Amino acid sequence: MIPAAPREIDTGFPGFRFWPGVLSSREQADLRDAALTAVETAPFYRPVTRTGRPFSVEMSNMGHLGWVSDRAGYRYQPTHPGTGVPWPVMPAILTDLWTALTAWPEPPDACLVNLYRSGAKMGLHQDKDERDLAAPVLSISLGDTAVFRIGAAQGGPTQSIRLASGDVCALTGPARLARHGVDRIIAGSSTLIPGGGRINLTLRKAASSPSQT
């Protein structure tokens, strides 16, 4: 059960919110199982950039929309790019976390599922493919600890923080367009993910709300 008032750490970065250890061991296992069940019908795949360079992480999605990347660019779409099948439904615990921690009035419609095996990383980038850039981005960590890096949208110095299994963080307000990425995964720091590694679940409100259309 999500705590009524989970402990939040002041990161010193305005708008970047961090709640360590929000999920219990049982909840982490349940979310892992939900994600692994989802990828049975929406299998992990390795996307490429516009230039054809493959990502080092494997990806899938849950929800009405899924974020994809290929030579045509970055976008959200309702189906898996390989199978053409709609993305599986998000488990309720994800929408509950979104409501409890962000207080955003609308539910998320996209959950990116990233699988980081040993050696995988994610370069600094901004989340800006969503229609409403005021809506928060919520991130849940499962498995091996990640060395997460964040910096201001306009450039300049960055800072890093370790995200362990069960930790949750969010990009909100002045940090919504912050540059962020994963420098490395600390292999063997968790046994949660079969075969080792980290699963990151990123919740977003990708489409416009009815009032915006």
Average pLDDT for 15-25? 97
Strand ordering across the sheet containing 158-163: 122-125, 179-186, 145-151, 158-163
- Say which range, 11-25, 48-62, 143-157, 198-212, has the weakest mean pLDDT: 198-212
Average pLDDT for 68-74? 95
pLDDT at 113 over 80: yes
Q: Residues with Cβ < 8 Å from 117, sequence gap 6 or more? A: 58, 185, 195, 196, 197
| Residue ranges of domains in the chain, CATH in brackets | 11-207 (2.60.120.590)
Average pLDDT for 184-206? 98
Q: What is the mean pLDDT of the chain?
A: 94
Average pLDDT for 183-212? 90
- Percent with pLDDT over 70 in the chain: 95
* The token pair that represents 27 in the structure block: 């909840």
pLDDT band for 4, please (50, 70, 90 cuts): low
The angle subtended at Cα 23 by Cα 205 and Cα 185, nearest 5°, is 80
pTM for the structure as a whole = 0.94
Residue 213, pLDDT score = 39
Residue 211, pLDDT score = 44
Average pLDDT for 62-80? 97
pLDDT at 179 over 70: yes
Contact yes or no for 116/198 (Cβ under 8 A):
yes
Q: Which residue has the higher pLDDT, 84 or 6?
A: 84
Residue 189, pLDDT score = 98
pLDDT band for 2, please (50, 70, 90 cuts): low
pLDDT band for 209, please (50, 70, 90 cuts): low
pLDDT band for 6, please (50, 70, 90 cuts): confident
